[in-house]
Amino acid sequence: MNRLTPLEIQRASFARRWRGLDPDAIRDFLGEIAEQLEEEARTRGELRAQIARLTQEIEEYRQRAAAVNEALVAAQRTAEATIVRAETEAQRIVADAEALADRVVDDAAKRAENIELVIGQLRTRRRAARADLKRLVEVLGGSVRDDEAAEQRESEEPTVSFLRRRPTDAKGER
């Protein structure tokens, strides 16, 4: 049997018989059935359109999910590669830093030894300079004592000599 449309149901006509059913009641009933069928057909059409739209959305979401999964896998690989590179670089940096620290410590130790040598030399020079200063003080002290003694002697003698006359000869010559 072919599917009937709501319009076919509303326009349906029946042959009349004696003692048959009330045609107006049948028409009203058929009208209600036609309206219900029309409503169901409209609802089915809307549902089909909604199913098509949802099916398309599901496909789009599947494609997006696949793209997101691919991106996540690529990101994971990139992250792992980055971590490996970072760890390798960190190990290299640490090794370089340790080598540099060893060189700095060795240089500092050598400098400390050199400084100790210089300090020892400076102490020796200081002792020598002190001894030289003591000798100089003794020499200067001796010079001061000699000068004081000379001054003492000079104070005992007149510093200005008087002009004395020379004895004159009998002839008056000078």
User: Would you give the distance in Å from CA 14 to the centre of its chain?
Assistant: 92
How many domains would you assign to the chain? 1
Which residues form the domain of 34? Answer: 6-12+21-108
Instruction: Give residue 116's pLDDT.
Output: 94
pLDDT tops 70 at residue 1? no
Q: Specify if 100 maps to a domain.
A: yes
pLDDT (tens digit per residue) in 87-126: 999 999 999 999 999 999 999 999 999 999 999 999 999 9
Q: Specify if 163 maps to a domain.
A: no
Instruction: Give residue 32's pLDDT.
Output: 84
Q: Specify if 80 maps to a domain.
A: yes
Q: What confidence category does residue 24 fall into, taking pLDDT thresholds of 50, 70 and 90?
A: confident
Q: Specify if 63 maps to a domain.
A: yes
Instruction: Give residue 25's pLDDT.
Output: 80
Instruction: Give residue 166's pLDDT.
Output: 64
Tokens describing residue 120: 């020892």
Q: Specify burial of residue 55 (Cβ count, 10 A radius: 0-12, 13-18, 19+).
A: exposed
Q: Specify if 142 maps to a domain.
A: no
Q: Specify if 57 maps to a domain.
A: yes
Q: Specify if 167 maps to a domain.
A: no
Q: Specify if 154 maps to a domain.
A: no
pLDDT (tens digit per residue) in 38-75: 888 899 999 999 999 999 999 999 999 999 999 999 99
Query: What is the SS3 string spanning the chain?
Result: CCCCCHHHHHHCCCCCCCCCCCHHHHHHHHHHHHHHHHHHHHHHHHHHHHHHHHHHHHHHHHHHHHHHHHHHHHHHHHHHHHHHHHHHHHHHHHHHHHHHHHHHHHHHHHHHHHHHHHHHHHHHHHHHHHHHHHHHHHHHHHHHHHHHHHHHHHHHCCCCCCCCCCCCCCCCCC
